[in-house]
Chains A and B, each alone.
Chain A
């Protein structure tokens, strides 16, 4: 069963790299959203989400990702996802998330897109 949700962040230039672990539900979604609220007065305008260690997500958790997309779109920023489980990638496609975000093969390639 999924372990406790974990969140690691690293600021790289004007991008925030977020690595999650565990189930992305409402509580995890709030934590993710809070990170961006905390950075709302900084130069952060892009996000890279590495979901390699998050294999379960629900639509409430995703609704918080929509908040982040909304926030960063307002700054003309970009959102890139890494290491999506195939079922999560399919879920994002169904919802239309990739109209507002993209995927990359690695952190390096994501950061190249953002610089």
Chain B
């Protein structure tokens, strides 16, 4: 069997649907012998990317598409929503010392995705957002 696996899922906006994507990721990773640590980190990245997608998906199109391309060496994650988009440059770097005692304790998604991956690209506009992530698995 080919050692390059591809999984595409269209996720509707319903509670905990991100776990479906995470389940697929875990199964592919274990089949390929990826370490539990790397799978665990990838799960966090995928979870945050999907949450981000749903937050920007808007009311008209409450779906997020996710695609995984996985080899033993590398995982590519593509997350697309068709919402109103956002400007990644306007996203403030979160600082825990400001979050503790501050009103807004959220806003960690992009920081976590960046920190736990090897490359992250965000393309966003009025027709939607596409996040492309590469994570080394070795």
Contact = CB atoms under 8 A, between A and B. Distances in A.
Interface in A55-83: 55-60, 62-64, 66-67, 69-70, 73
Contact of B16 (A25, A67, A73, A99): A25
Interface of A: 1-2, 23, 25, 27, 55-60, 62-64, 66-67, 69-70, 73, 85-88, 90-91, 94-97, 99-100
Interface of B: 15-16, 18-20, 22-23, 36-37, 40-41, 43-44, 47-48, 51, 94-97, 99-101, 105-106, 108-109, 111-112, 115-116
Given A59-B51, A91-B112, 20 more contacts: A2-B16, A23-B16, A25-B16, A27-B15, A55-B40, A58-B44, A59-B106, A59-B108, A63-B108, A66-B100, A67-B105, A69-B100, A73-B100, A86-B37, A86-B40, A90-B41, A96-B95, A96-B97, A97-B96, A99-B96
